[in-house]
Amino acid sequence: MRVLKAYLLYIEKEKNSMKSFFIKNREGQKISVILEKSDNCGLVFIMHGLGGFKEEVHIATIAKAFRDKNFTVVRFDTRHSLGESDGDYSDANPTNGCQDLEDVINWARTENWYREPFVLAGYSMGGGSILWYGANYSDKVSGLALLSTVIGGHHTLARYDKKDLQEWDATGIQVRPGSDHHLNWAQFKKDILQYDMVPEAHKFTMPFLMIVGDQDTNTPLEDHMKLYQKVPEPTEMYVIKGASHVISEASHLKEIENILKKWIDKI
């Protein structure tokens, strides 16, 4: 309970201290962005996971690591998330996330602080989005930093309970645990099954970092290794002992921050 309270307090502090603003995507929908500019030439875009938002403690930890290394940091709420951007959670899927990342980068390209190549960092389904972008636009990306990443649709579905899958297939709805939010399951399932980054692994020739908790059952170490073993050098993998998929313990977050900072110095 104390961990949860600390987590909620951190999020509230983060929301109050960071000023967000809106840009428009390709369809005129609003995307909420936090921009932290630096005079240094480094630039990073950071993505949250399914139903997440840009002020979450693990996202803020990633941002801090890059900010402390004098990077310009861009983080944003994808559409159809629980953040400030347009859309409804029921319509969330990987393609929307990939499009949002493209649109935020295209907006950034018009700003005077924009630099190429840039780093991409992502958590869970956001990790899947940056993998997609890195595979398709490798010349623009100087590094990929992945936390508890989704590597593909078949791998993700294989981690769900079979009874849950049967229920979602029958009802067409996946209810988000602990909330009244739900996904259009048929739409989400069809979309995520289009993605599998393991066959794309040879395209990741940029510095490549993977971080995962040893208690993560959503995107476990076993799945990370399927991608990691096929990615060309230079690659790095770190396992956080005692950490699950949602990482909120202060000690785990500090470990992630330190890993990121050491990796940033190498890229």
- Tens of pLDDT along the chain (267 residues)? 444 455 455 555 555 557 899 999 999 999 999 999 998 879 999 999 999 999 999 999 999 999 999 999 999 999 999 999 999 999 999 999 999 999 999 999 999 999 999 999 999 999 999 999 999 999 999 999 999 999 999 999 999 999 999 999 999 999 988 788 999 999 999 999 999 999 999 999 999 999 999 999 999 999 999 999 999 988 999 999 999 999 999 999 999 999 999 999 999
Amino acid at 127: G
CA-nearest of 60, 31, 57 to 46 is 60
Q: Which domain holds residue 171?
A: 2-264
Nearest-angstrom CA–CA distance, 236 and 92: 30
Count: domains in the chain: 1
Q: Which helix (H) or strand (E) holds 187?
A: helix 185-192
pLDDT per position as a tens digit, 10-65: 555 555 557 899 999 999 999 999 999 998 879 999 999 999 999 999 999 999 99
Q: What CATH number does residue 110 fall under?
A: 3.40.50.1820
Query: Considering the entire predicted model, what is its pTM?
Result: 0.93
Rg for the chain, CA atoms, rounded: 17
